[in-house]
Amino acid sequence: MREQATGKIHIFIIMFFISLVMRMQIPIFTPYAAAFGASSVLIGVILSVTSFANLSGNLIVGPLVDRFGKKLFIILPLFASSGFFIAHGLASDSVELLIFHGLNGLALGFFLPASLTLLSAYAKNSNQQGKNIAINGMLTTIAGIIAPLIGGKLVGIIGYVNTYFFIGASMVVIGIYTVKFLGEKQQVMVVKKNRSTVRLTQILNNPALQMIYLIGFAVMYIHGVIIYEIPYLTVEQGVSTFNTGQLFSYMGLGTFLTLSMLFINRFDPLKRLMVGLFGMSMTLFALFSTTLPLAALLFVVGIFFGLIMPAMAAAITDYAAKQVHGRAYGFMSAIYSLGIIASSFVTGVIRDVISPYFIAFLIGMFVLTFVGYNKYRLPKGLQTS
């Protein structure tokens, strides 16, 4: 029992610090790429390619984890990612930066599914698994608050190149810790086998899941626009990377605040998704049409983002049949990646012509209108199918 608790603590420590180190680059990558002469379009392409590479890693690693074990695909991506982060600091032009950033996205695409699979192996039942995921979510949110501040401050002290060297060296340290302390763990959760064949059409033809996936796409599109635009303040307005890091931290604080309000989980998840998307969309409207403080608006975005993410998992559990839960969650991950890919590319192309916040607002409101209309047409029998 004590050995299992220790192993779980180690995986939590590793995932927290990996999230912390990875997110240090959020406020610094865009201005760093712009310093190489990368246009807004090229930066959008780099971010889109990285998201696509990350999605590819997610899809590839599943069967490999089942065959070769989880620890291997946690350790190898850590050391590979450390090399790619260091290579960021050695890049000589934007093309090399695209290659290194894309390869880093691919490597980290292997890490997350493997680490979550290992974490789930420490659960004896679905209740314990839910608690483990909740703890990891809280730790990840805390890392999201701290990391942008650290990354932005480091650039002001040691510069972009040395900051990427620091990030890469930190990944090496975490990798060594992982080799020494992380153990392999076999699945102990009892799952009833279902021999029926699961078809993708069972997911795609479910009207409730269609609405959930549309909301997921819109939310991640909005999130992708913010991740692109906020660091660009350093390029266009001379805002320091520390200040842009602070802005991301305000957003993380808003998310943490909502996640702490556990009573919200009592409400219908689809309604929470709709309220969250409406709130994010209206906050975007305020971003491009008012002079309200950006920090306050991002804090509000974080509040609604924190409302959406737990509701998304609950909605899939409620509306998808038990035998397709795995595929349904996998498809949700793909939708998230597609939202980031689309927003990064579109934002890079249109930002010199029209506000990306306006386009994100239109997408959010269109999806909300479509979902609201179709929700009233949803057969009651599908609500817990």
Structure tokens at 92: 């000589």
Domains of the chain: 1-191 (1.20.1250.20), 193-385 (1.20.1250.20)
**Nearest by Cα to 368 from 286, 299, 302, 271:** 271
This prediction's pTM? 0.82
3-state helix, strand, coil in the chain (%, to 5): 85, 0, 15
Show Cβ contacts of residue 125 under 8 Å, excluding neighbours closer than 6 positions.
189, 190
pLDDT digits (tens, 9 = 90+) for 357-367: 999 999 999 99
Q: How far apart are CA 380 and CA 385, in angstroms?
A: 9
Q: How far apart are CA 357 and CA 28, in angstroms?
A: 21
pLDDT over 90, % of the chain? 43
Q: Looking up tokens 């604080």, which residue turns up? A: 253
Least confident of 5-14, 18-27, 249-258, 373-382: 373-382
Q: Is pLDDT of 229 > 60?
A: yes
**Nearest by Cα to 280 from 367, 376, 378, 370:** 367
pLDDT of residue 189: 44
Q: What is the DSSP letter of 300?
A: H
Q: Bigger pLDDT: 2 or 71?
A: 71
Q: Is pLDDT of 214 > 90?
A: yes
- Inter-residue contact 11 to 75 (CB < 8 Å): no
Q: Is pLDDT of 344 > 80?
A: yes
Q: How far apart are CA 51 and CA 44, in angstroms?
A: 11
Total Cβ atoms within 10 A of residue 128: 15
pLDDT digits (tens, 9 = 90+) for 182-196: 876 655 444 444 444
Q: Is pLDDT of 112 > 60?
A: yes
State whether the Cα torsion 218-222-227-228 is positive or negative: positive
Q: How far apart are CA 234 and CA 258, in angstroms?
A: 29
pLDDT digits (tens, 9 = 90+) for 62-85: 777 777 778 888 899 999 999 999
- Inter-residue contact 336 to 33 (CB < 8 Å): no
The stretch 298-303 carries a mean pLDDT of: 94
- Inter-residue contact 297 to 283 (CB < 8 Å): yes
Q: In the chain, what is the greatest distance between 2 CA atoms, to the nearest angstrom?
A: 60
- Inter-residue contact 219 to 367 (CB < 8 Å): no
Least confident of 12-21, 59-68, 86-95: 59-68
